[in-house]
Structure 1
C-alpha cells in the first residue's frame, strides 16, 4: 500500500518462531497498544492487562501515519499502581511532523526535530481532570482531527479453542463446500434485530435430517474443528477485506490443512480481492509459509535467547538463493530451531525410559 513518496506498507506480515519464543505475546502486545491508542479502550479492556509479570514499567513507542499527511510518535509508559493494584499510564508524550516526499526511509521515523504537541504530565487542569489514568491521550488527537481509525480484528481468541463468529446470516455455501464438501448449508437466524437470540440450522448432503439448535455448541459437535475455525476466520477476514483495517491471527495453520491457510493469506496479496489494502498479521510454526511471501521485509523471526526479540528477515543478510524455510529449519539464524544437543539429549532420555520399562516388565 502506497503511503507517500517512496514509502509503502506491507499488506501481509508473518511472525515465525519455534515454541516459547513469544510470538503470541508479541501479537497480543501489538493488538493491546493499538486498541489503547486508537479504539478508546482502557488498559484493563485490552491484552495489555495480561502482559505484565512484575513491578517494572513498560515503555511503548508507536508511530502512526494520518490521512492528512502527518506522522505521529506516541511515547507511552505503563506502570503498576500500588494503591489500586491496577495498571496506569505513567507518562505519555505525542510528537508530530509533516510527512515529506523528500524524506528517505531512514529519516521516516526520525523525530529529533519534530514538535511535542501533547504531554500527559503537562495538560490543562480541565483536560487532566476528565482523563482516566488508564486511557491514552491520543484519543484527543483523533477527535480533534476527526481521523478515521482502522478496524482492528483480533482472532487470537481462537488459537486454542473453537468459538463461532458469523455476522453474515446464512454462511456462504462456497466457504462451506471448500472446508467440508459434505455440508449442504449452515443458516443463522436472528430472532430480533439486536441479534440477542440466534437459531442455527445445519444440513448435510444425502441426509434428510436438519440439525437445529439455539446453542452453537450443539452444531459444532457435527463439524470438524477446522470447519468451525474456518467459517469464523473467513467471516472476520471478509469483514476486514470489505472495510479495510488489520486482522491478527495466531497460529494461522492451527486446525487447518495448509492449503486453506495459504488461501486466506493469498486474499491479502491479491489486488483484485484486497481493494481496501487490508492488513494481515499472523504467527506460525510452519516455516514453508515464508517461501510464499514476496518480500523479506514481510517476515519477522521471533527468538528467545537472553530476551524475547524480533528480527526482520531482510536485516539478516541471508543469501536470496536459499529457501527461507531451509534457513529457518537449519537454524542458520540462531534460535529458530531446537538445538541439536537438546534433540540428542531427548533421544537418549527416551531410549533410557523405554529400556528401563522393558527391564521392569522382563
Structure 2
C-alpha cells in the first residue's frame, strides 16, 4: 500500500503537469480552453496577419513596377510564408514543427537581406569580384546550417509542453545573431562610402537612417531571441517543463510570450517594409558613355574612374538634369546665330 507522502507527491506532480498544459497548450480551440491564452493567440495572430497583408501589398507593387532586384522578392515572399505559418500555428496550437519552419523562413529573409547589402558593400569598396567568391559560399553555408537545425527541431521536438527547452532554439538564434553581426559590418562599409559621395544631404541622411534602422532592428531582434532561448534552457532545465519557469501563471506567460513573438517575427518585417522600397524600371538606371550605372538599389555604384550616387528617390531629378544639361549650348548657339 502506498504511503500518504508518496500519494501526495504523485498528486502534486500530476497537478503541476496539468497546470503546465493549461499554460502552454491552452487556447481558443484547444483543450482546455483559456480566455487569457485565447486573447494571447488572437493578438499575435492579428498582428502577424496584418503584417503578412502588408507584405502581399509590397509584392504586388514589386511586380507592378517590375522591380529588378530579386532579393526583394525573396524577402517578402518568405515573410508572407512565415506570417501564414505563424498564424496557423498560433490558432491551432500544439504544433512545434510549424514554429521551426516559420523560423527557417525568417532566417532565409535575414540571409537574403544580408547578401543584398553585402553585394552593395563590396561594390562600394570596388571589390565586386570578391562577392562571388565570398558571399555565395557564405550564403550556401548559412542555408545548409539553418536547414540542418530545422531538421533537428522537427525530428526531436514533439511535445509542445517542453519545446522551449530544446537546444535547437539556441542553435537557430545564435545563427541569427551571427547574421545580424555580418549585416552590421556591411552597414559600416556602406555608410563610410556614403560620407565620401557628394549628393543632397537630406537624401544621404534618409538613406543612412533607413540602413541603420534596419541594422538596429536586426540586432535587437537577434539579441532578444538569443537571450530568451538561452534563459529558457538555463532556468527550465531543472524543471523539465516550460510552465514551471513562469510559476504556472497564465497571465505572466502570455504577456512575455506575446511581446517576444511580436518582436521576433513582426518587428523585422516592419523594418524591411520601411527600408526596402520598390523601384520601377522607369526609374532604373541606364548606362551612360562612361559606363556608370544609376542604381535602383539606392546605394553607390562605382564604375571606372567615376563615382556616382543616385538614390531612387532622386532618380527623376537626376534624369531631368542630365537630359536638360546638353540642351543649353544648343540654345545658346541658336540665340547667337541671328546676331552673328
Interval containing the TM-score (normalised by the shorter chain): under 0.3
Q: Is the radius of gyration larger for structure 1 or structure 2?
A: 2
Q: Which has the higher helix share?
A: 2
